Amino acid sequence: MFLDANVLFTAAHNPDGKAALIIALGAEGVWELRASAFAVEEARRNIIVKYPAMSAQFDELLTVMSMASEQPGAPFPDGLAEKDRPIFQAALGCKATHLITGDTTHFGRFMMNPAKTLGIIVMTPAQFLEAL
């Protein structure tokens, strides 16, 4: 699964939440975790500004996931906001089955609709855990 920046951010500042649980289970080998440098840097910027004391926690989370390569030429769903295309393209490039994001503003219309997302299931952390 591929984790969006807001999932990384949320897991770092809320270690008892759903995003952190998804990462903890991935660390135990239940599933494979991926992110991209783009997602990591976006999350890191927000951590530094909003929760600087959680920077070490954030860095620790990154040790349990693989980094997916940026895929600037990869396709993306019609209507996806330009700022979110690198996230989707990296998820597609690493052959993620799921893209986990809390961004319902930009990804909401694509949630749980793999026919619109080139086969990737886009879900919030809560939706993913409820589907287990």
Q: What CATH number has the domain bearing residue 84?
A: 3.40.50.1010
- What is the average pLDDT across 101-121? 98
| Residue whose tokens read 């920077």 | 55
**Structure confidence at residue 65 as a pLDDT band (50, 70, 90):** very high
Domain carrying residue 9? 2-131
Close Cβ partners of 85 (under 8 Å, ≥ 6 residues apart): 76
Give the alpha-carbon dihedral of 105, 8, 84, 86, to 10 degrees. Answer: -170
* pLDDT at residue 22, rounded to an integer: 99
Domain total of the chain:
1
Taking the CB of residue 130, how many other CB atoms lie within 10 A of it?
Answer: 10
What is the distance between the alpha carbons of residues 22 and 125, in angstroms, rounded to a whole number?
7
* pLDDT at residue 47, rounded to an integer: 98
The one-letter amino acid at 73? G
Q: What is the b/e burial string over 73-107, where b = at least 16 CB atoms within 10 angstroms of the residue's CB?
A: eeebbeebeeebbbbbbbbbbbebebbbbbbeebb
What is the distance between the alpha carbons of residues 50 and 55, in angstroms, rounded to a whole number?
10
Instruction: Give the tokens for residue 5.
Output: 């920046």
* pLDDT at residue 90, rounded to an integer: 98
Could you tell me the pTM of the whole model?
Answer: 0.97
**Structure confidence at residue 23 as a pLDDT band (50, 70, 90):** very high
